[in-house]
Structure 1
């Protein structure tokens, strides 16, 4: 039947090794199909297409496959406006040829689909995902001629998609997401090119699907190719600008991605991620409340980044975040944020440890009851922080401790733990004892501190430690400007009942050290 439609000579020439003969045969096929279309004989047209598919594009002979591809393109040209109803026959065998082992066959497949697309334009959008997938692979083809042909086809497909109202972004996104983590540089350029083009189409909402491919774009920021890094950065900058101008954005899903990327080993990726987080905190505000802990976990390490630009943005973001008033009822997770701050107290960087302490103070001031309910989780870490090599950190830790110890229960707990730490670590007492005691005396009232310490030391079983501790307290009492009022009170022990009461309170424990008790009596002007 097919032989009756297409002369045998034309079929022979269609599989000839010479391109010119194949081309002329294809023109014959185009004319035949054009005539059939004019009479509306679509049954014979289907027979011709099946012949080209079964006998040519599926052949084991490369020249047959080339002839079949050029023949299918010619048939489409012959059909012109009638081509749409035969696309399900025409397009699949062409797409199958994109993975042919022969470089020239792949080249002709690109050329054939290009010519088909020029004829049918938007009607072939139903095959878009398959075409995109094929082009994605061909963009990294080993043959430069195939790559070149694929680029031409790609440009045409982009033009068709941007003018079509049949394109479905919802169906396309899963395919894009699946491809975004491919490492091949040609594929990456191909993907960024498509993202940029689709984002430029007013009727396509790429921003709404940004969380699906945002991580892939960030991944490209550390590509070895400068051009790919630049393209990815340009695309991200455009999206960030759109986010600023958009009334509704899914900040949450993207925040999770940015938090991960803020810890990237690549400096440029970290800077971009922390810049996005900064904008999100300013724009998203309350929407980001459930993600505050994760965001804080990303910001605090960046405050000590080796790159100054990152440090500056991280500090600004940290201040913005701390300034937002949030309530646990809105999803503000005090425990999670407290946990992040506690973890960062172990950071090797002083600036990060300092900011972690500022956060604990902020939480104590704003959510004291909640923080105290989780005190057991952070108290040991706060006590260990008293051994920090940085004086600034230690002073801040003491402020936190003082804030916790405002009520009697926690005050006693603090002093008991402090003595326990001094007993277990004599070097802490030696190196930081004076600083710790003096600062607590300022923050929590000197008399109260000394009375509590004396009560604890009075019953101390380790007499050697008790003697050392009392000597340290006595030296601080005699020499520190912060304790001048306490000294004045003790000097009035003989005439002032409050002074006498204090002297009696200290006396029992000061007896652990002969020199200390003598000093105390001389200060109080009491005879021994």
Structure 2
């Protein structure tokens, strides 16, 4: 190498501390190199570039390094775009090294030198794009404002070159972005997002092909503290969504869905809201393609619905829309009747998600879970029934929830379980009538009712809940039973409850009401009888008991009677409703053999009030012309004699005093001797059953008193 390639004057000025002197030297170098280029003296050009790189830009003297930088830029300008390519690496490498110098002024001059070199070389610079991009990403967050401003000029120039060059390697560039996208430096984030916006503006580049590599980091950048960066990132994500909607067939939904699902659970409201919007669009554009990921999607939606903060209101609305869209994708075509083959849906994972979010504190979330289970029971009953043993106890537990909406949805879900065609049908007298369809898309609002074994399990579990939670029995039982009657036919519900109350002890694999606890049975019958007698929804059932004929009505009456025997007043009420007045007389006369407790007298008081209600208007009219008025009148007088002097006594007495003289009433026919309307019922057997049950109750009360007395003496 010729050390005298530069004149002593140029060398002296390159080492000078004044910028103006170094600039004069650079102009001289430019003239000299241009002369070499015109003469084709490539050796002299290379020697000049090498000398500046080695002896100046790598010098320990800061002024010399600055002189080397401006000298290399002068060489590039002198060479021009036609001649620079062979020397480009020698020009760039030393300048790139100086760009990381500790001196901010040195970094600024390096930016200036790079700008001049790149401006001349244009597309020839692209083989060194990675090195340039790496330097720019660092300079974009430089603490010195002048350096950042200088890097922005170079950045814009490089973007112009990339935009106008069709041969730009996008795949390699995406790898560069992905490596740096997880930075938390705001300036670097802004730099990276701006570059991605630049690439997206090039029509020839299919950025959707690389979206999977960048999506996770973009969502993280969306949570930046800078409003400007957040807005830039959000606008870019919105633009990506538009592109996805235009060409969904080119989108790797399966590769990105888990990324979106993960960010749906972000604590940042903007990230969460944007991710849910993406999730909603993915469901819309991808359709059934994303169903294998349904468990994760459902989990993301349910966790969002559990958010109670006011700022999450719009986010929750988006989650609801996404939830509805996902539910619509699951139709009956996904059902597997063959139990040996699993459904193509991730039902096992979905069931785990359902169980998890049924413990949520959010009413909206719990309702959404129960709606999901009901939807699957309607659309894919056979597939979901493979997991029903896990779901059934969890759904039953929701009956104790504090929110009426949750309880209502739970009852609808349990009705779907109990009447699902996938369950084993009940071999009994249940399954009569029709039931309402919960699926609004079905053509008919009602369908034939076929109950399965889970109906029996449901009733037994319900009575167990009533037994262990007295508040549930007192406060919620009316609401629960009325809804069940609307969903599963009132006769089915009351028959099943009556049969369960009749069972004593426990049998393997089934839960029954404990026969050793008659107090609960009496209280339950009292409550259920009140529902039967007063609920407007049960008018049809009362009419059947009151006026129905044939063996079916008689059988139903006997079923109720045997369990109603746990409560004496309820039994009397049932006999009065069914117009079996002779049996009523027999029962009332037997009361003299039993202890008349205060609770019993209070129930008689309520019975008198019930007899004055419109429900028993037929009974009051029968005092005038019914062929069985003899036993009816005797029953009411017997009831009057049992009552203490009270307002109810006065009410009933006044009512009986209103009955005209028997001589003024129509003569009783020869067929009026029978005081029971149901003539195919063995009332003697029923009476003996009543006596037996009441004696058990009497023995139970005596046992309790003895226990209480022993406890007092023990203390």
TM > 0.5: yes
| 8 Å CA contact 1:328, 1:334 repeated in 2 | no
Q: Deviations over 1:373-404 (max 9, x none)?
A: 11122222211211122222211211110110
1:115, distance to aligned residue in structure 2 (A): 0.6
Q: Is 2:287 the partner of 1:285?
A: yes
- Match of residue 515 from structure 1: 569
Q: Deviations over 1:101-153 (max 9, x none)?
A: 00111011101110100111011111112211211111111111111111111
Q: Following superposition of structure 1 onto structure 2, how do residues 328-477 of structure 1 map, counting pairs within 5 Å?
A: 328=334, 331-406=344-419, 407-458=451-502, 459=504, 460-463=514-517, 464-477=519-532
Q: Deviations over 1:316-364 (max 9, x none)?
A: 3333332234554994333434443443333333333323322222111
| 8 Å CA contact 1:440, 1:449 repeated in 2 | yes
- Match of residue 310 from structure 1: 315
Find the aligned partners of 1:195 and 1:231 in 2 and give their Cα distance. Answer: 11
1:254, distance to aligned residue in structure 2 (A): 3.1
Find the aligned partners of 1:89 and 1:4 in 2 and give their Cα distance. Answer: 19
Q: Following superposition of structure 1 onto structure 2, how do residues 47-446 of structure 1 map, counting pairs within 5 Å?
A: 47-80=47-80, 81-246=82-247, 247-303=249-305, 306=310, 307-326=312-331, 327-328=333-334, 331-406=344-419, 407-446=451-490
Find the aligned partners of 1:13 and 1:29 in 2 and give their Cα distance. Answer: 11
Q: Relative to structure 2, which stretch is displaced further, 416-425 or 93-102?
A: 416-425
Detail structure 1 runs of 4+ shifted over 6 Å in the superposition. none
1:9, distance to aligned residue in structure 2 (A): 3.5
| 8 Å CA contact 1:442, 1:482 repeated in 2 | yes
| 8 Å CA contact 1:304, 1:351 repeated in 2 | yes
Find the aligned partners of 2:151 and 2:344 in 1 and give their Cα distance. Answer: 50
Which consecutive residues of structure 1, in runs of 5 or more, have no partner in the other structure? none
| 8 Å CA contact 2:280, 2:321 repeated in 1 | yes
Secondary structure at the aligned position of 2:266 is classed as: coil
Q: Deviations over 1:38-68 (max 9, x none)?
A: 4444344333333222222222221121112
Find the aligned partners of 1:337 and 1:323 in 2 and give their Cα distance. Answer: 16
1:35, distance to aligned residue in structure 2 (A): 3.6
* Distance of aligned partners of 1:98 and 1:331 in 2 relative to their CA distance in 1, 3 Å threshold: farther
The Cα RMSD (Å) is 2.5
Q: Is 2:22 the partner of 1:22?
A: yes
| 8 Å CA contact 1:189, 1:228 repeated in 2 | yes
Q: Deviations over 1:476-519 (max 9, x none)?
A: 222223333443444469x6422332233234433333333343
Find the aligned partners of 2:64 and 2:157 in 1 and give their Cα distance. Answer: 27
Find the aligned partners of 1:234 and 1:402 in 2 and give their Cα distance. Answer: 47
| 8 Å CA contact 2:306, 2:360 repeated in 1 | no
| 8 Å CA contact 1:457, 1:509 repeated in 2 | yes
Q: Deviations over 1:452-475 (max 9, x none)?
A: 223332212441323322222222
Find the aligned partners of 2:268 and 2:314 in 1 and give their Cα distance. Answer: 14
Find the aligned partners of 1:29 and 1:42 in 2 and give their Cα distance. Answer: 15
| 8 Å CA contact 2:138, 2:188 repeated in 1 | yes
| 8 Å CA contact 1:492, 1:500 repeated in 2 | no
Secondary structure at the aligned position of 2:203 is classed as: coil
- Match of residue 555 from structure 2: 501
| 8 Å CA contact 1:122, 1:166 repeated in 2 | no
* Distance of aligned partners of 1:418 and 1:203 in 2 relative to their CA distance in 1, 3 Å threshold: same
Q: Is 2:46 the partner of 1:37?
A: no
Find the aligned partners of 1:331 and 1:177 in 2 and give their Cα distance. Answer: 34
1:245, distance to aligned residue in structure 2 (A): 1.7
1:172, distance to aligned residue in structure 2 (A): 1.2
Q: Deviations over 1:71-126 (max 9, x none)?
A: 22222223322221222222122112111000111011101110100111011111
| 8 Å CA contact 1:110, 1:153 repeated in 2 | yes
1:69, distance to aligned residue in structure 2 (A): 1.4
Find the aligned partners of 2:16 and 2:91 in 1 and give their Cα distance. Answer: 21
Q: Relative to structure 2, which stretch is displaced further, 44-53 or 122-131?
A: 44-53
Secondary structure at the aligned position of 2:45 is classed as: helix
- What is the TM-score when the length of structure 1 is the normalising length? 0.92
Find the aligned partners of 1:331 and 1:22 in 2 and give their Cα distance. Answer: 74
| 8 Å CA contact 2:208, 2:250 repeated in 1 | no
1:269, distance to aligned residue in structure 2 (A): 3.1
1:302, distance to aligned residue in structure 2 (A): 4.2
Q: Relative to structure 2, which stretch is displaced further, 138-147 or 44-53?
A: 44-53
Aligned residues: 527
Find the aligned partners of 1:420 and 1:93 in 2 and give their Cα distance. Answer: 84
1:405, distance to aligned residue in structure 2 (A): 0.6
Rg comparison, structure with higher value? 2
| 8 Å CA contact 1:489, 1:498 repeated in 2 | no
